[in-house]
Every structure is written in C-alpha cells, then in structure tokens.
Structure 1
Amino acid sequence: MSMRHAAGRRLIELMTGFWKTQAVYIATELGVIDEIAAAGRATAGALALETETDPDALGRLLLFLARLDVVTGDERTGYALTPVGELLRTDVRDSMRDHVRIYGSHFYPAWGALTHSLRTGGSAFSHVFGADLFPYLQEHPETSLTYERAMVAGTPFFAEVGRAFDFSTARRIVDVAGGHGALLHEILNDNPGPRAVLFDAPHVIEESRGHPIATHHADRCERVAGNFFEEVPRGGDVYLLSRILHCFDDEACRQILTNCRLAMGPDARLVIVERVLGKDAGSSLAEGYNMHMLVVLGGGRERDETQYRALLDKAGFTVADIRPLPLETHLVVATPKH
C-alpha cells in the first residue's frame, strides 16, 4: 500500500470513529449485549426477536461489532461476547455499561456541537442541553446516577491508588467530591485503621446511601454534604481529590485547593488523581480528555506537570511526588507549605 493510500485509509478511520461509538452504545442500550450474555451464544434472528429489532439490520450491527472485537462468531454459529463485550453486561461487577451509556447519550451530542466550544471557549454540553453539566445532573436524578456509575466504571485503577500511596498510617481520610465513595471503599477495605469522611454535594451524598461505602463502612465513614467552593471538612490527615480539578478552570481549582489547605493541619497530605499532559508519550488519552473537558465542562482542562505545580503553589502546597497509575492517570502528592 502506498503512503498516500495508507494516509487515506487512516483518514477514513478517523472520520468514521462515530460509527463505533454509536454501534457499541446502541447494542448496549437495546439489550443486545445482555441477551447474548443470557444465551451464551445467539444468532441475529434469535436476538432480533428478543430485542424487537429488524433481523437484517441487527445482523449488520453484529457483523460490525465482531470486527470491533465486542462479539465473536457469525450468523451460522451464533455470536458470543468477547472480554470487551463482557464489560458491557448489566450483571457483572466491573461493568462499564454506564460508561458507554453516558458517552453515547449525552457526551456524543455534546461533541456534535464542538464548533460552539471552539467559537466561544464554552461548554458544548450546556449549549445542547440548556444547562451546565453539574446543575443538569442535579435536576436529572437518573442521569446523575448513570454519570456517577460511569465515573466509577472508568476507574479500574482505583485498586492501584492504595499501592501507590500508603494509607495505612492515616487516622482520618477526607475524600473531597468523592461521589458514591468507590475509591474510599477500596482504600478502607485495604486499610483497617483509618476512619473517613465522604464529602460531596447533597444530592450525591443522598445517592450514596445504598452503595458499599454506606452499607459496608457505616461505622468508619461519615457521609457529609456540602460545597467545596465554600469549605471542606476539617481534621483529616489525608485529603483526596480524585479527577476533580480537571473539571474546573484555574481560579475555581485555586478556591478548592485553598479550602483544602485551610482545613488541613501542617502534617497532612493532599493526594490528587488526574491525567497529566505530556507524561505518556505515544497515546492520545490525556490530550483527548483535555478536549473532552472543554466540550462537556467549558472551563475544565487537563494540565501538565508545570501547571499543576504552579496551581498547587498558589494555593499553599508543595508537590512532593508524582507517580504513574494505569490508564494514563497519575497520583500527585502535595504537602502544605510551612
């Protein structure tokens, strides 16, 4: 293949990326994945009856999904799930179904309005849905639950956080904007000594009632509702900020970090989990999420090491360490300036 033909093929692959997004999303949303899981192996004809879809159209979708390594097989032998497809099942513990749902249903149309973000520097999500993401979620509880589950589904690296940072000697861990407490749950499971505070917006704390952090760790973890732009709970010796700062512009981040600093004692530590631009050569995840933060949140962004050091310095912190985690995330450990 000539260089020009190779370049042309690559361009076609780039321009048809949305085919893959919608194919995986619709197969998940219409129950095709769960029906295959229930049957073990099934033909398009059988699946069409269960999902009320057209057999020929569904057959084309399954053929495409086989090329994408979501399913394996053909119409003669039937289709089964691959390890990728298994992640889309509703009934598995590490399901990424909600991750696919929020990207296909809400983030996909927001990216369709990318021009708005590029013209204005503002949120395309807000332009499409009529409200910024977090106020929108507060007004749409079902979407909020999907979003929170999606954020957990996209974090198989949570178990690695405890290996990169020693929480065993902590007395009180404060997870700032910790969602439904999935990361804190992992940390408390692995460290029997510390007590903890899960701190988030009132509607998120209400949603967390049925999650493991409340059902398994009620005796060790206090769930506190509040606004981190106003204050955060005092008295912790470890403060967590997992994938929070990339949602906001520098001024908002400075306010969040300053409030953390005001709540911390001189020997406390701040543990940040974020993607850091420029740390993973050869991949576009961090750069892609940098764009995603613009499209979905407007003021959000990924930052490089220099920007994080400057941001933390202005809020009264010194960076003590930066360590790699899976999926191109990094653990940034900071200590208060004395």
Structure 2
Amino acid sequence: MTEAAGGEAAWESAWKVLAPVTDLVTPMAVRVAATLRLTDLIGGDRVPVQELARRSGTNADALDRMLRHLTHQGVYTEPEPGVFAVNEPAALLASGHPSGMRARLDLDGFGGRMDLACTGLLHTVRTGEPAWETVFGLSIWSHLASDEHLGATFDAMMADGSDYLADAAAGFDWSGVRHVADVGGGTGVLLAELLRAHPGLRGTLVDLPDTAGRGRRFLADRGLDDRCSFAGQSFFDPLPAGADVYVLRRVIHDWDDGSAVRILRRCAEAAGPRGRIVVIEFHGGTDAAPAMRAEMDLRMLVINGGRERTLEQYRALADAASLEVTGTHMTPLGHLVLTCTPAAA
C-alpha cells in the first residue's frame, strides 16, 4: 500500500468513528428545513423541487442539493428524481407536531439562535465567558429586547408544555399565601396558572419592561390582570416589597454564581423576615440522562454564563445570599423546589 493510499484509508477509518459527532452539514440542513417549514409546504404530497422552491422562496438548485443530502440521512424521501415527500422523521418538523421541534430548530427564532451561539464555543472555553455577545454582537437580554420576533419566540419556549407548567405550580403548598411575586416571570404563564388554581391569590409580575408589557396583555386576555400588579424592571434592582412568596422559576440557572446570589439577595430584601423565597428549577430527577444534563450545562455557559446545579450547589447559593433552606423536594416531572427564608428570620 502506498503512503497516499494508507493516509486515505486512515482518513476513512477515522471519519467513520468521528463523523457522528463532527458533521455540521446535516444538523444545519435539518434546521434550514425547519426554518423554511418544508414539511408543512410538502404536506402529504409528492412535490417537485421547482414547485417546493417556489413555495419556500428558495433557489431550486440549492434546495435540491440540500434535500438530496437529507434523504441520504433518512430525513425526507425522493420517490422519483427531483420530487420529494415527507417520511416519519421529516414529519417531526411539522409546525403542529406536539414535540414543538420545528420551533426549537427554527434559525429565525430563539431555539435556532441558541444553537448558533455554540459557534462561539471556542471563545467560551478559552475565556470562561458566554459566547452569545461574541456571536451576535449583543448580550442575550439586549438581543431579545431589540428583536420583537426573537423575544416572542423566547417567551413561547419559556412557557413550556401545560403539564410541566402545572407540575411546577404544584411544587409548593400555596395554601395561606395571599400575595406571590413572580420574579423573572416572563409573560406570566406560571402566575396565570397559580391565579387560576387559587382564586384568593394576588400576584406581582416582575420582568424587564417589554416583557412585563407582554405579560400584562397575556394576563388581561385571560381575565386575570385585575388581580396583578406589574413591575417592569431588572431583578438586580430593589424588588417590590410585601409579597408573602417570591418565586424564581427557571431563573437562577441562567446566571453565574455571583449574579445568582445577587438575585436571591434582592428577593430576601423584599421578602423581609416573614416572607419566603421559592426556587424552582428543572432538574430532571436522579434518573435524568447524564448526557442531557451535561449538554444543558454547557449550553447555559455559552448563552449567558449560567449553569445547571446540584441540590448542594443551590444550597451553597442560598447560604451565600443569607438564606436558610427550609425545604427541598422533587416534583413528579423532575422540578427541584427549594423553599428558603431570610436567615435572620
């Protein structure tokens, strides 16, 4: 065997091993298909690529090449040359599919942008700093505030499914609570769930001004705004005082330790000696796949410097914020719930 032939054989052998974890073409092609809504545009038909290009506003030659690659990867089929159809994997990209995968992969929405932020992973690994601003030119929160569509898709992703939302809401005993402040509460999906379930409860929604404005409309559409007040502000600033409970649902994991402690301290200041702080994070439980948790931990670092934490790490944050953890438990769907009180109490 010649040296050149030996090198070619070594390359082929290495590619077979590494291709599944190094191929960027296929993941991007799937995301482009999702962004263009190709599954919706094909439907149950067999569609010639020229017609599909017309429907999707794309270049027919480029679209043909991309779809041919995807068919070799098992996504879509080509029943005859230049004609494409939806198969079982491609059907997962339908807009109406309950998995929500199309939206999560849409490069024009938050899900796809979150993936694109990972192109800055080298910066993050070299510096320990998030990559979002390096990739997009703005911090994630400034980016969301400046792009209405991106902000709306972020809100939709944070809303979760109704079952997970109900699971989080039921993770704390709300009996006896008269007033809850949902800190970093987005458009108020958790607050709406709580207000519907507890007619005597009042709420305060705290989030950045644009988000709080969308929250006001969301709660008004559900006839709940008369039981709410709205604080359009950063949760790094002093929070509205006087609520019985300050709840932080899937907020702390967005932030590094120092920022997380600052948020918890603001909650403690507002809660006073009689209030409680409830931290709700999706933990996945003890049976959660380690690979899934490791991926999410890396994603949080790349996006905003956040991290997924263990129970002991959350306890350490509470201690640093002068909070006493008075209760912890796991919900049926894997939310970790910590109840805290100011240590002086």
Give the shorter-chain TM-score range.
Answer: 0.7 to 0.9
Q: Does the 8 Å contact 1:276/1:305 carry over to 2? A: no
Larger radius of gyration: 2
Show the counterpart of 2:105. 100
* Residue identity matched to 1:149: A
- Change in CA separation of 1:220 and 1:108 when aligned onto 2, cut-off 3 Å: same
RMSD over equivalenced CA pairs, Å: 3.3
d(CA) in 2 for partners of 1:156, 1:223:
26
d(CA) in 2 for partners of 1:92, 1:10:
33
- Map Cα deviations across residues 273-305 of structure 1 (whole Å, 9 max, x no partner): 22449944543222212111221113x222222
The number of equivalent residue pairs is 322
- Change in CA separation of 1:187 and 1:129 when aligned onto 2, cut-off 3 Å: same
Q: Secondary structure at the match of 2:142?
A: helix
Alignment match of 1:60 (pick from 68, 73, 83): 68
- Change in CA separation of 1:282 and 1:209 when aligned onto 2, cut-off 3 Å: closer
d(CA) in 2 for partners of 1:207, 1:93:
24
Q: Does the 8 Å contact 1:99/1:151 carry over to 2? A: no
- Map Cα deviations across residues 79-133 of structure 1 (whole Å, 9 max, x no partner): 45759946751x6898454432345642233211211111111121111122211
Matched, 1:333 2:332: no
Show the counterpart of 1:142. 149
- Change in CA separation of 1:27 and 1:87 when aligned onto 2, cut-off 3 Å: closer
Show the counterpart of 1:263. 270
Matched, 1:285 2:292: yes
- Change in CA separation of 1:197 and 1:139 when aligned onto 2, cut-off 3 Å: same
Structure 1 unaligned segments of length 5 or more: list them: none
Show the counterpart of 1:29. 35
Residues 1-338 of structure 1 mapped to structure 2, 5 A cutoff: 11-16=18-23, 18-19=24-25, 21-36=27-42, 39=43, 41-45=44-48, 47-53=52-58, 54=60, 56-57=64-65, 59-60=67-68, 63=71, 67=74, 75=79, 79=85, 85=91, 88-89=94-95, 95=100, 97-101=102-106, 102=109, 105-153=112-160, 157-211=164-218, 213-216=219-222, 217-276=224-283, 279-280=286-287, 282-298=289-305, 300-319=306-325, 320-324=327-331, 326=333, 329-337=335-343, 338=345
Show the counterpart of 2:7. none
- Change in CA separation of 1:278 and 1:208 when aligned onto 2, cut-off 3 Å: closer
Identical amino acids, percent of aligned pairs: 31
* Residue identity matched to 2:105: V
d(CA) in 1 for partners of 2:189, 2:332:
17
Q: Secondary structure at the match of 2:177?
A: coil
* Residue identity matched to 2:311: E
Instruction: Return the offset for 1:240.
Output: 1.3
Structure 2 unaligned segments of length 5 or more: list them: 1-11
| Length-normalised TM-score, structure 1 | 0.81
Q: Secondary structure at the match of 2:248?
A: strand
